[in-house]
Chains A and B, each alone.
Chain A
Amino acid sequence: MEPVASMQVSVTVNGDVYGREVEARRLLVHFIRDDLGLTGTHIGCDTGNCGACTVILDGVAVKSCMLLAVQADGASIETVESLATGDGELHPLQQAFSAHHALQCGYCTPGMLMSAKHLLDHNAEPTENEIRRAIQGNICRCTGYVNIVEAIAAAAKGEVSA
């Protein structure tokens, strides 16, 4: 029997259901970026170390370069594009990141935000160490993490205005 080269998948992303025929070897991150056009999710390595591609899949923060798209069949995924409301109001984490200058080039930011959201979804009052552990899988090369940690702490406390 010939090996299966492609599969039909159905994935809910940010509330929209997408049905697509995908190559069996296609990474989830390439599916999100190239097939669905949601380019907010980024790629920064080949090895699952950098976390730029972090999304929330069925409630769990995952690196979307470490999954095949076919493995996400039937799953519900949140990407950075889901954070702000439809009328453009930024999520408290997004507001806090801006207010605390927690981003410079902005390349790690989407993945960082999704890891932070996952943390706050499960732990409303994290300690500094818990925040650092939660973003341990996300590399930032601009900020030294100082302001990112501050921003997440501020968002947890509801202190988001600049």
Chain B
Amino acid sequence: MTTTAPEKVEAPEKGFAGESIPRKEDKRLVQGQGVFVDDVRRHEVGYVHFVRSPYAHAAIANIDVSEALALDGVYGALIGEEVAALTDPFFQLSVPPGSEIKDYALAVGKVRHLGDPVAAVAARTRELARDAAELVEVEYEALPVVVDPEHALDPDAAILHDEAGSNVVWSGEFDWGDFDAALEEADHVVRIERLHFDRFSSTPLEMSGAMVEYDRGTGQWTIHANNQFPGFAIIMMGPALRTGMDKLRFVSQDIGGGFGNKICTHPQLVALCLLARKLNRPVQWTEWRTDQHTANSHGNERVFLDIEVPVKSDGTMLGFRCKAIDDCGAYSRYEPLGCIIWAQVTPGMYRWRNVHIDFTQVCTNKSPCGPNRGYSRMQHLWFTERVIDIVAHELELEPVEVRKLNYIKSEEMPYETPNGCVYDSGDYARCLDIALELVGYSSLEEKRRNAESRGKLLGVGIGSTLDSGTNNFGQSQLLNPDLQFSGNNEVASVKLDIFGEVVVTLGTTPQGQSHETVASQIVADILGVTPDDVHVRAGHDSYWNTHAGFSGTYASQFAVTGLGAVKGATELLADQIRRLAAVILGADGPDEIELGGGFARRRDNPEAALPFLACGAIVNANNAGLPEELDDVTLNCRYVYKPPFQVPDKERKFGNLTLTYAMQIHVCVLEVDPETGVYEIVDYSAVDDCGNRIHPQIVEGQVHGAVAHGLGAAVFETFTYDEDGTLLTSNFYDYHVPHALDMPPLRTDAIESPSPFTSLGTKGMGEGGGAGIHAVCAAIQDALRSAGNAIVTDSHNPYHRVWELLRNPEASRALVRVEAQ
């Protein structure tokens, strides 16, 4: 077995951990007293508007800003040529050809997607800035467009990045187990020609934005922004701006949702930094919804081709082989990390040992992609669930039984996957049983007949999904062996201040994940106080000294890395309080002191007690005469949590890529109208297992949200481009996200399989792995069984697509065939 040595698990003590206490964040947020990025005010601000390309692909012949600058109240402008002179292109993570891509804060030389920013204008008001942007004259020479990722590889396809000489960002082969031997061993081989995972994004309600100030005396930028991964932004921006990391101070308080979509804002932030310096005034930018949809961060589209699945006659699946083409849009900004991140969940939840994937990521003339709730694993998990259900469908196996047959068993945990990842714990079959029971699966046939009597087709679908959390950034070296990233870290500090106030500072950037509340529960239990006694600073500031290279809130990890840091720092503080109290109270040693009720007490004499107020006051303001042995007692303790990772084996692409594996199983029951293809979800269950839950209500809230995102993507949400590369769903008018009446009734439950690898038995959760998409696809396929037997091959199934499946099931059936060996 592997790289990770299990740590000792502590049984959760009776305390605040595990209780759904009131959220600390709510008091300000329900009163409209949160401070979101657009709420930050400064004097003499220049409001910024970006001038964006109306073409998907064009050379920039000329940019003339003179008319804009002549407008009264316009402070200045920035164009691509200046950016190219003043900054270096963003560091590329890929090997060639992707490494040759030149990506700047504004388009230089040509535009590569609709909405690509070519200039930025700053003015006295938002409206003036917009007026001025319209006066910027840009001459374009249109170029041929690449919209379809499969055509991006054609020899005659237009090339987006001439320097790269190809539309390929990264390509590589993943080969684990022995796929040819699996083919030999199989009784059947199921072949699926093509599966397509659609393009959408979680579209947080608050758009991206920033207030950027530049201090000429120190050369420092202060960036009030809702970027959710400042660690990554600083690594990208420092070299581009030719400045030190400490010159980029990131500050945020409340962030209105992120879902990964607020990770890749570094290009816009660099443009703002240049403008703030050039104009010598604070500059403010709040993205418009249309800008967010056309030019910020989409979820990756992925096509799976030539899929082969060797299957034994009893339904045991031995693995799979396929080609995957991933479309990252016009620029690789977090990419090609998605080319490895799926491998955290290589076999999905199944005991598949033989896997071969030929993976290629390409650029197209569409919005750049970035992490999106379930990033890269969601696409792959959708693929594994589709494979399971298509194979079951073709071989007439029961979807529940075939899952239970192929699921990794609870007694096999921790389980090493074919590529060396270690699934820490879980009981998939039990969660499936609970989820099925919640929707009354035992009376399914009765419900099916009832639906038929009303002229409807009833379908049931299962979505089994993993939420891998706490990245080992060493996985980046499997894409590019020269990268110098590995492991992970997060920081917290906990101090006891002069008036006895417990103050907690986090390195995270929460966007609704309730970190203030959850951190206070852990601190309260260790120090023997209540969460109300614990002040957790709201938001993030990279100058708080709780910032490390991977600080931020992304990739399902707070319950492990964030709380690991909080626990570590609080334990250090508790130890210092005990040592101090032992000296003051004349106890034999720190072990003779216990903490409770805001006091440090002698165990042998509870009357001898020192209030925290006194501890804080002595160390901070009344320390004369303290003995030398207490020199290191500062009551201000910082802890960096580092998960126990090794660098993966680059040759074999083998190793543990994430520390924890939360899971969710969803079951969807829907009814299809065979005349129109319109369907309604009539029942829905979601069962979650994320190990020990510190705050069950918050966990359940994350599950609800993940369901809504999954259902939105399955039914409504798609970024549709026409052949010219024009986005047809560029705002909430055309891009329909679930509203209150769109959401079906939800039934939720949870089990707890504590992680043996984390100090609190917790697992990161919140992304949900797109289970809703998987479950809806499976339910539609089930419903159509008696009406043409179509196969669902797309992740996005609006009503018209279901109508097409009903009208012409043969088109989908032609994509699948079963061969007896």
Neighbouring A residues of B31 by C-beta, 8 Å: 40, 80-81, 83-84, 90, 94
Contact across chains for A106 and B289 when beta carbons are under 8 A apart: no
Residues from chain B with a CB closer than 8 A to the CB of A90 are 27, 30-31
- Residues of B contacting A50 with CB < 8 Å? 205, 289, 732
The residue in chain B whose Cβ has the minimal distance to the Cβ of A46 is B289
Interface centre among A135, A139, A147 (most CB of B within 10 A): A139
A80 to B136, CA, bound (A): 39
Residue from A23, A39, A94 in contact with B30 in the complex, judged by beta carbons closer than 8 Å: A94
Contact yes or no, A101 B697, CB < 8 A: yes
Q: Is the pair B32, A79 in contact by a Cβ cutoff of 8 Å?
A: yes
How many residues on the A side are at the interface (Cβ–Cβ under 8 A)? 59
A146 to B745, CA, bound (A): 8
The residue among A34, A146, A147 with the most chain B CB atoms within 10 A of its own CB is A146
Does B731 contact A47, Cβ atoms closer than 8 Å? yes
- CA A83 to CA B32, docked complex, whole Å: 10
Q: Complex formed: what's the CA distance from A140 to B51 in Å? A: 29
Docked-complex contact A148 and B206, CB < 8 angstroms: no
In the assembled complex, how far is the CB of residue A64 from the closest CB belonging to chain B, in whole angstroms? 13
Q: Is B32 touching A105 in the complex (CB atoms < 8 A)?
A: no
Closest beta carbon of chain B to A38's beta carbon, Å:
8
Residues in A neighbouring B708, C-beta threshold 8 A: 141, 143-145
Asked if B204 contacts A26 (CB within 8 A), the reply is no
Check: A17 CB closer than 8 A to any chain B CB. no
Q: Which of B342-350, B506-514, B522-530, B788-796 contacts A (4 or more CB under 8 A)?
A: B506-514
**Contact A132 B741, beta carbon cutoff 8 Å:** yes
User: In B293-328, which residues have CB < 8 Å from any A CB?
Assistant: none
Q: Contact partner of B257 among A26, A34, A142, CB < 8 A?
A: A142
B395 beta carbon closer than 8 Å to chain A: no
Neighbour of A81 across the interface among B27, B32, B204, CB < 8 A: B32
Chain A nearest CB, measured from B127 CB (Å): 6
Q: Which residues of B contact A84 (CB under 8 A)?
A: 31
A105 touches B289 (CB 8 A): no
How many A-B contacts at CB < 8 Å in the complex? 177
Contact with A along B681-710 (1 / 0, CB 8 A): 000000000000000011011101101110
Is there contact, CB below 8 Å, between A107 and B206? yes
**Does A11 sit within 8 A of B, measured CB to CB?**
no
Q: Say whether, besides A80-B32, A113-B30, A162 and B256 are in contact (CB < 8 Å).
A: no
* Interface residue tally on B, bucketed by range: 35 or more
Interface string of B498-534 (1 = CB under 8 A from A): 0000000000000111100000000000000000000
B39: A residues at CB distance < 8 A: 33, 39
Contact residues, A34-81 vs B (CB, 8 A):
34, 37-47, 49-50, 52, 79-81
Q: Distance in Å from the Cβ of A147 to the closest Cβ of chain B? A: 6
B512 — which chain A residues lie within 8 A by C-beta? 103-106, 142
Q: Is B412 an interface position by the 8 A CB rule?
A: no
Known: A46-B290, A47-B731. A141 touches B203 (CB 8 A): yes
- Point out the residues of chain A lying under 8 angstroms from B206, CB to CB: 42, 44, 105, 107
In the complex, what residues of B have CB within 8 A of residue A157's CB? none
Please indicate which of the listed interface residues A45, A52, A133, A143 has the most CB atoms of chain B within 10 Å of its own CB.
Answer: A45
Contacts of A25 in B (CB 8 A): 127
Within 8 A of B (CB), among A111-162: 113, 131-133, 135-149, 162
With A42-B36, A142-B512, A149-B740 as known contacts, state yes or no: A106 contacts B30, CB within 8 Å: yes
User: Chain B residues near A138 (CB, 8 Å)?
Assistant: 739-740
Closest to B255 in A: A105
CB distance from A79 to the nearest CB of B (A): 7
**C-beta contact mask, B722-753 vs A, less than 8 Å → 1, else 0?**
00000000011100011111010010000000
B22, B26, B38, B514: residue with the most chain A Cβ atoms closer than 10 Å:
B26
A87 to B158 CA separation, bound complex (whole angstroms): 65
A45 and B707 within 8 A (CB) = no
Q: Which of A6-39 contact B (CB under 8 A)?
A: 23, 25-26, 30, 33-34, 37-39
Instruction: Please indicate the chain B residues that have their CB under 8 angstroms from the CB of A52 in the complex.
Output: 205
Given A45-B289, A146-B704; A136-B740 close (CB under 8 Å): yes
Task: Indicate if B23 sits at the interface (CB-CB under 8 A).
Answer: yes
Contacts of B204 in A (CB 8 A): 105, 107, 141
Closest to B257 in A: A105
Q: How far is the CA of A56 from the CA of B700 in the complex (A)?
A: 32
B254 contacts across to A, CB distance below 8 A: 105-107
**Beyond A47-B289, A83-B31, A101-B23, is A146–B746 a contact (Cβ under 8 Å)?**
yes
Residues of B within 8 Å of A141, CB to CB, are: 202-205, 257, 259, 705, 708-709, 737
Q: Which residues of B contact A103 (CB under 8 A)?
A: 26, 29-30, 512
Chain A residues, Cβ within 8 Å of B732: 44-45, 47, 49-50, 139
Contact with A along B282-293 (1 / 0, CB 8 A): 000010111000
CB atoms of B32 and A40 under 8 A apart: yes
Q: Which of A33, A136, A141 has the most CB of B within 10 A?
A: A141
A55: min CB distance to chain B, Å: 11
Q: Which residues of B contact A162 (CB under 8 A)?
A: 22
Contacts A98-B26, A132-B740 given; indicate if A104 touches B514 (C-beta within 8 A). Answer: yes
- The reply to whether B127 and A144 form a contact with Cβ atoms under 8 Å apart is no
Distance in angstroms from A20 CB to nearest chain B CB is 14
Chain A residues whose CB sits within 8 angstroms of the CB of B649 once the complex forms: none
Q: How far is the CB of B597 from chain A (nearest CB, A)?
A: 23
Q: Is the CB of B23 within 8 A of A98?
A: yes
Decide yes or no whether B33 CB sits under 8 A from chain A.
Answer: yes
Taking a contact as CB atoms under 8 Å apart, the answer to whether B205 and A107 are in contact is yes
Say if the beta carbon of B34 comes within 8 Å of chain A.
yes
- The distance in angstroms between the C-alpha atoms of A83 and B257, with both chains bound, is 24
Question: Is B126 at the interface (CB under 8 A from chain A)?
Answer: yes
A16 to chain B, nearest CB (A): 15
The closest CB in chain A to the CB of B710 belongs to: A144
A98 to B701, CA, bound (A): 12
Query: Is B207 engaged at the interface, CB distance under 8 Å to the other chain?
Result: yes
A144 touches B29 (CB 8 A): no
Query: A105: which B residues are within 8 A, CB to CB?
Result: 204-206, 254-257, 511-512
A46 to B291, CA, bound (A): 10
User: B25 an interface residue at 8 Å Cβ cutoff?
Assistant: yes
- Asked whether, in the complex, the Cβ of B203 is within 8 Å of the Cβ of A144, the reply is no
Query: Judging by beta carbons under 8 Å apart, are B30 and A109 in contact?
Result: yes
Pick from B698, B707, B731, B733: contact of A101, CB below 8 A. Answer: B698
Report how far A23 CA is from B30 CA in the complex, Å.
Answer: 31
Q: Check if A142 sits within 8 Å of B739, measured CB to CB.
A: no
Shortest CB–CB separation between residue B109 and chain A, in angstroms? 30
The CA-CA distance from A40 to B257 in the complex, in Å, is: 16
Q: Residue of A at shortest CB range from B30?
A: A94
Q: How far is the CB of B538 from chain A (nearest CB, A)?
A: 11
6 A/B residue pairs, CB under 8 Å, sorted by A: A23-B125, A33-B39, A44-B289, A98-B23, A139-B732, A142-B705
Shortest 6 CB-CB contacts between residues of A and residues of B: A40-B32, A107-B256, A106-B29, A105-B512, A104-B512, A144-B708
A positions within 8 Å CB-CB of B:
23, 25-26, 30, 33-34, 37-47, 49-50, 52, 79-81, 83-84, 90, 94, 97-99, 101, 103-110, 113, 131-133, 135-149, 162
A44-B732, A113-B30 provided; 6 other pairs, C-beta below 8 A? A33-B39, A46-B289, A80-B30, A106-B28, A107-B205, A107-B257
